[in-house]
Structure 1
Amino acid sequence: MTIATHRGSPSFPTVLGSISPSTRDEMDAAVQALQSHKDEWVTRTVRERIALLDRLIQDFAAIAPRWVAACLQAKSVAEDAPTASEEWAVPGPVTTRAGGQVVAQVFPQSTYDRLFFYGVTAEVWMEPGVTVEELPQTQATAYQAQQYEGKVALVLGAGNVSSIGPMDILYKLFVEDQVVLFKTNPVNAYLGSLIEES
């Protein structure tokens, strides 16, 4: 890793080994390929999608340590630093309040969050009357609709947390039922080859 510092500016590490940016022709070809296959995606059965998700989980598990190492290197964060836990973040539990309202904890997600944002929490409250058992019926409503035409979505990856872009891709694919063209943020372009691999 090299660090270039200019007088009066913050220093940002330059990560070596990232993939080259896509050319206009490559992007046009990718959009055309997605456009050609978007209707195939919406006809995939739930069983096929579950199989694909299982494969994605296995593939991502295989690259997760390299993903985290690349993120830590790019951010100049030591493996044992409290901020390293952000790369392994997972959400909290889904609970039912005394009045019956279902709540999903979404923050804090890591030890770092708990330490540095002590007492700060964030929750998603479901509509009154939705129970934990009924929660799946309120999710992935695209699967409950009649057949419809496929769509192509563009996801512009955020640069602040490496997992946001891939989560947005999965959301578009499996919740909104759209095929996706993904553009990484230049800040984490070093993850491009890992995203392609997974």
Structure 2
Amino acid sequence: MTTSAPTAEQEARVDRALAELVRGEAAWAACDLPRRGRLLDQVRAATAAQAGAWVRAAAAYKRLPDGSPLLGEEWMSGPYPVLTGTAALGESVRALARGRSPVDGFSLATAPGGRVAVRVLPHGTYDRLLLSGFSAEVWMPPGVTAARVRQGAASACAGPSGRRGSAWSSAPATSPPSRCWTCCTSCTPTTGWSPSSSTRSPTACTTCSVRCWPR
């Protein structure tokens, strides 16, 4: 399959979309919990409204015929995770707004090494129906107690802050994320992470002072 280079207009459209995403990230960070819940509901509703078009576009690109069993994979890898993800985030935000922990109601177990494990899949009726036979757990780092899990779950979403949404990382320098989440268009990450640079600190954006990890 051959592809052509994007046109200047296509590149400009992508740039505009990314700039809009950055503005939206900052707006999200400034929202209180009820507003975040409403925004997540709107994203979910908009996704549901366009889910069919999403799958049809994917099928057309892959030249899948109508009625192909492979269309199910397009639903499961496209709209479904966005719908379930926004629903789960909405549940977490609403739990925080009520003063509850987002993991209330989740089953906690003990994993090897005495770790706390949270059963995250299946979660809800649709997961049980569509993902029958599949299960997943999240294992906490050693030393993290069940009480700490409940207390700290989704703490980054607890309310408005000066940070730019979830793209800001407060991880210690000894355990950086696998990639840099650029905080804004003016922030220019520098070198890649390597063992020799394990003491490197996050760099501050010269415009917004938000810290991000170097690439």
Pairwise TM-score range, normalised by the shorter structure: 0.3 to 0.5
Structure with greater proportional strand content: 1
Point out which structure has higher relative CO (alpha carbons under 8 A, 6+ apart): 1
TM-score w.r.t. the length of structure 1 is: 0.43
